[in-house]
Amino acid sequence: MPEIAVDALFDREFLQRLEALSLAARQLVRGRMKAERRSSARGSSVEFAEYRPFTEGDDFRYIDWNAFARWRQLVLKLFVEEEDLYIHFLLDGTASMDFGDPLKFDYARKIVAGLGYLGLSNLDRVSVVPLGSEPAQWWFPSRGRDRFLPLLRYLAAMPVTGAGAHLETATRKWQMMKPRRGLVVMVSDLWGFERGDALRAMDRIRYGRHELAVIQVMDETEQSAGAAGEYELVDTEYGHRRKIILDRASAKEFDDNFRQYQESIRTYCRRYQVPLLQINTKLPIMDLLLKSLQQGGFVR
Amino acid sequence: MNFLWPIAWSLLGLALPIVLFYLIRQRLRVKPVTTLLFWENLAPKVHNLPLWRKLRRFVSLLLQLLLLALIIFALARPILPGQSTVATSVILVLDPSVTMAAKSGNGTRWQDAVETALHRVDAMSFGDQAAVILAGDPPQVLSPWTGRKGDLREVIRAAKIGSTVTDIRPALRLAQNLVLSHPGASIELISDTVWTVAPDKDSLDKVKLDLVGTAVANSGITLFAARPLPAGAGEYQLAIKLEQNTTTPVNGELTIQQNGQLMDVLQVTIPPGQTWQKFWRAQSMDAVSFEATWKPQGEDSFALDQQASAHLDPVRGINVTLVSPPNPFLEIALGSQTLVKTQRVWPAPAAGDAADLTIFNGTVPPADWHGKAIVLINPPQSGFWGERVGPIDKPLVSEVDKDAALMRFADVSDVQLHDATEFKPAPGAHVYVDSFGKPLIFGHWESDPRWVVVAFDLDQSDFVFRTAFPILCANLIQALRPDAVAEANNVPGPVATQLKQIASASSAEVVKPAPGHWWNAIPFWWWFALDALLLLLIEWSLYTRRITE
């Protein structure tokens, strides 16, 4: 895939609308997710959390002497430990994303750019991890709106990282880097090596104690079998070939298979309370971002 | 087998792209997909095809080639054995007889005839020519020789049915003459063959007869006429005649109206093979219109003979100029006639006058006389009426033409004549009364120019004392009044009412008219092409969509 200039992929109008979206995001997120970013750890911020009886080994500097004077009991005054939120965007860069009109990969990159902008604006630490067969350079966690332009350049230069990738394997490789726990937004078509591949990849993320959100990106033509005829199907990702006669019966069977797979994804996400958006690339990107804000779970 | 357009076989070259197309279609179309997850376990797969399914494709190819051959075969316009390969010419003779208005199926015979003619035109091939003649006397050439189907259709559709029974002979003679300009041309006569006179066999030589209509039951008015009677001014007779063509009696109701008011209603039974007729006699000085309506019981296929009309003009006044010394007999006899205005002058005017009748008594008209009708009583000299020979010795009435309208009811056989003059009548004159070969009353009174010579002196006979005298005067006057007879075409006539088809298969080659379906005009080889094309499309659709697999 040719390298795309920043301006070509993320034009001025897109960026202007992102700014407007970030304002909407503040209202939406603030109202609904108050206090969700506080860490369970107690730390040294100025915000009081609770009292705890003093035990041996505790730092006596945290003893609340006023409370001792009142209760005659040594208690520690605990404060909320505020910490940065890490948002990891796992961007599917496998060959299957290099398909459709517009390309699913371009659409996915815009999603990451949009959500990334919201995260950076919120002073979250945003990282982007390409999922592919080839090791690719990450976008290491960064914070602040001034990092948005480099993020765009990174995304614009991001290639599709070849064929034959397993989602689970790519996810495992990322986890081996021991990323900080946080919100993981997986942007992928979820077409794995086989049916369980995508689910296992999501399992791995959940097992790593990350919060997971999934955006499944599809092209419209992938959702139906297409015109009847005799075809040799070529899997663009794995290179597998299959000769097939496409008639009404086989088209119906395709529809059934597709529906079952999608349902399995939905069932999984419902079971584990994973926010999920299944969309096709015909949906305007801003509508999608707004939808992700309304549904919740994709940004904080 | 011959072909009119053999070059069409060069289109067999189209088989090559079909084979190539087939081979291309044999190759699977490559369809890139992002995943095969949903294509797994789909049946059938190409590599699992049984042998018959693989053969199916070869059969499909063979079928397509066969269908292509069929289409080309049709385009090549095959000629079956016995069919002519040269262009044909045909003269279509349409019979517009009034009887073509008779019912035939859901329409009329005329509609059938027009449809038949249109089918003949539709069946014309490239290079064929046709001419269209509308029968009648004289016949009318609706279209000269032409190969333009549109023009032919237009004139055929524009042709109108007539009001009388056709005499077909002039049209056939004209058609035979047209054949001379197109050797090998055929004549096609489209008619119900109800004709006034049957054409002879020579006229029907090489004539194909498209017989339209079948024998149908009919009854109707064959005569309805009103005529003035010579008995008196304004007296008239109304006559009606009904006929039928079945073998059983036909009952019906006959209604007569006079000037729009009911005059008579009759329950009539027309015996088979006979006519039913009735007369009415009345008097009217004014114009009179009569309407007759015949309503038969049961089926009747020809409506045009169920109504008729007649008309009588009003009695017209007659101006008579009597050129005579005073003659009370003549003046009284003329003056007593109804609606007669008499004027006596003496001597004769120089240049004639506008009177309807001028009577010269004992004198003759001037040389440049231009009156309408002249009666010369005892003319003293010769003239256009004849040559004066001399006196007749002891004249006696020996012979009277009682059949002449002039002498109707005028008995002059006992008239005593003291003297008379012998004339040698002019050629064309009719002798009404003579005396042993010598004319006493002669002339030309049946039609214009009317003139009569009375070759004896009224004063020297007792004729003026006889009743025959005023009757003769009345006959003279009545003859000058126009005949107010019924219009000639108010009923089609007995030939039409009988609907007797006089031509048969023995007199001409009878061709049954083609059923009125448009597809009869399509050549059979076009059916080949249409069928082949349809099958080709179906086969292509089935093959492409793999429905049959």
Mean pLDDT of B444-467: 89
CA distance A224 to chain B (A): 10
pLDDT at B548: 45
Say yes or no: ipTM exceeds 0.85: no
Say yes or no for a CB contact (<8 Å) between B36 and A233: yes
Contact predicate B473/B337, CB 8 Å:
yes
pLDDT at B233: 73
pLDDT bracket for residue A56 (50, 70, 90): confident
Amino acid of residue B352: G
pLDDT at A269: 94
Mean pLDDT of B352-366: 84
Say yes or no for a CB contact (<8 Å) between B547 and A247: yes
| Dihedral sign (CA B61, B64, B69, B70) | positive
Tokens of B53: 């399914």
Between residues B437 and B547, the one the model is more confident about: B437
Say yes or no for a CB contact (<8 Å) between A233 and B39: yes
Nearest to A232 among B31, B35, B549 (CB): B31
Residue A132 has pLDDT above 70, yes or no: yes
pLDDT at B25: 66
Tokens of B492: 């089609």
pLDDT at B488: 45
Residue B505 has pLDDT above 70, yes or no: no
Residue B543 has pLDDT above 80, yes or no: no
Say yes or no for a CB contact (<8 Å) between B35 and A237: yes
Between residues A108 and B237, the one the model is more confident about: A108
Q: Nearest residue on chain B to A224, judged by CA atoms?
A: B38
Mean pLDDT of B67-77: 82
Residue A281 has pLDDT above 70, yes or no: yes
Q: Nearest residue on chain B to A96, judged by CA atoms?
A: B34
Say yes or no for a CB contact (<8 Å) between A250 and B28: no
- A21-35, A218-232, B40-54, B462-476: segment of lowest average pLDDT: A21-35
Between residues B52 and A129, the one the model is more confident about: A129
Residue B102 has pLDDT above 90, yes or no: no
Contact predicate B280/B301, CB 8 Å:
no
Count the alpha carbons within 13 Å of B544 in the hemisphere toward its beta carbon. Answer: 10
Contact predicate B147/B182, CB 8 Å:
no
Q: What is the three-state SS of B230-246? A: CCCCCEEEEEEEEEECC
CA distance B512 to chain A (A): 53
pLDDT at B167: 85
pLDDT at B393: 83
Residue B510 has pLDDT above 60, yes or no: no
Tens digit of pLDDT for each residue in B129-155?
Answer: 889 999 887 888 888 888 888 889 999
Nearest to A254 among B29, B31, B42 (CB): B42
Tokens of B250: 């036909």
E strands of chain A, at which residues?
Answer: 42-53, 75-80, 86-92, 125-131, 139-143, 183-188, 211-218, 229-235, 241-246, 276-280
E strands of B125-270, at which residues?
Answer: 129-134, 140-146, 186-191, 207-211, 219-228, 235-244, 250-258, 261-270
Mean pLDDT of B477-496: 66
Say yes or no for a CB contact (<8 Å) between A232 and B42: no
Contact predicate B169/B197, CB 8 Å:
yes
Nearest to B39 among A229, A244, A249 (CB): A244
Say yes or no for a CB contact (<8 Å) between A247 and B545: yes
Tell me if residue B194 falls in helix, strand or coil. Answer: coil
Between residues B301 and B45, the one the model is more confident about: B301
Amino acid of residue A157: A
Contact predicate A114/A21, CB 8 Å:
yes
CA distance B90 to chain A (A): 55
- B48 contacts chain A (CB < 8 A): no
pLDDT bracket for residue B504 (50, 70, 90): low
Most confident of A216-230, A253-267, B190-204, B528-542: A253-267
Say yes or no for a CB contact (<8 Å) between B37 and A228: no
Q: ω before B326 within 30° of 0 (cis)? A: no
Amino acid of residue B22: Y
Q: Which of A219, A224, A232, A254 to mutate to test the interface with B (most CBs of B within 10 A)?
A: A232
pLDDT bracket for residue A2 (50, 70, 90): very low
- A222 contacts chain B (CB < 8 A): yes
- A232 contacts chain B (CB < 8 A): yes
To the nearest 10°, report the CA torsion of B194, B200, B205, B207.
Answer: -10
> What are chain B's domains?
2-77+527-545 (no CATH), 89-215+501-522 (3.40.50.410), 219-315+485-496 (2.60.40.10), 318-480 (3.40.50.880)
Mean pLDDT of B398-408: 88
Say yes or no for a CB contact (<8 Å) between A235 and B47: no
Mean pLDDT of B395-418: 88
Number of Cβ pairs < 8 A linking chain A and chain B: 98
Nearest to B44 among A234, A236, A245 (CB): A245
The continuous run of DSSP H or E covering A114 comes out as helix A104-121
Q: B348-380 burial by CB neighbour count: b if 16+ within 10 A, else e? A: bbeebbebbbbbbbbbbbeeebebbbbbbbbbe
Residue B513 has pLDDT above 60, yes or no: no
pLDDT at A123: 81
pLDDT bracket for residue B533 (50, 70, 90): confident
Domain ranges of chain A: 6-29+85-218+278-295, 42-80
Residue A31 has pLDDT above 70, yes or no: no
Tens digit of pLDDT for each residue in A88-111?
Answer: 999 998 888 999 989 999 999 999
Q: In Å, how far from its chain's centre is CA B142?
A: 16
Nearest to A244 among B32, B42, B549 (CB): B42
pLDDT at A3: 42
- A263 contacts chain B (CB < 8 A): no
pLDDT at A40: 46
- B38 contacts chain A (CB < 8 A): yes
Distance from C-alpha of A214 to C-alpha of A55, rounded to nearest angstrom:
43
Mean pLDDT of A5-18: 71
Mean pLDDT of A160-187: 86
Mean pLDDT of A2-21: 67
Average pLDDT, chain A: 82
Give the percent of chain B with pLDDT over 90: 13
Say yes or no for a CB contact (<8 Å) between B33 and A236: yes
Q: Which of A189, A217, A235, A280 to mutate to test the interface with B (most CBs of B within 10 A)?
A: A235
Tens digit of pLDDT for each residue in B279-297?
Answer: 998 888 888 889 999 999 8
pLDDT bracket for residue B355 (50, 70, 90): confident
pLDDT at A105: 93
B56 DSSP 8-state letter: H
Q: Nearest residue on chain B to A258, judged by CA atoms?
A: B38
pLDDT at B26: 65
Write the CATH number of the domain with boundaries A6-29+85-218+278-295: 3.40.50.410
Say yes or no for a CB contact (<8 Å) between A232 and B37: no
Residue B453 has pLDDT above 90, yes or no: yes
Residue B377 has pLDDT above 90, yes or no: yes
CA distance B16 to chain A (A): 23
Say yes or no for a CB contact (<8 Å) between A254 and B45: no
Chain A residues whose beta carbon lies within 8 Å of the beta carbon of residue B547: 247
Say yes or no for a CB contact (<8 Å) between B546 and A231: no
Region label for B245, one of left (φ > 0), alpha (ψ between -120 and 50) or beta (otherwise): alpha
pLDDT bracket for residue B524 (50, 70, 90): low
Average pLDDT, chain B: 82
Tens digit of pLDDT for each residue in B23-61?
Answer: 776 667 888 888 888 887 776 555 555 666 666 677 778
pLDDT at A43: 54
pLDDT bracket for residue B156 (50, 70, 90): very high
**Which is nearest to A188 in space by CA: A65, A86, A94?**
A94
- A64 contacts chain B (CB < 8 A): no
Nearest to B38 among A228, A234, A258 (CB): A258
pLDDT at B486: 42
Mean pLDDT of A176-200: 90
- A227 contacts chain B (CB < 8 A): no
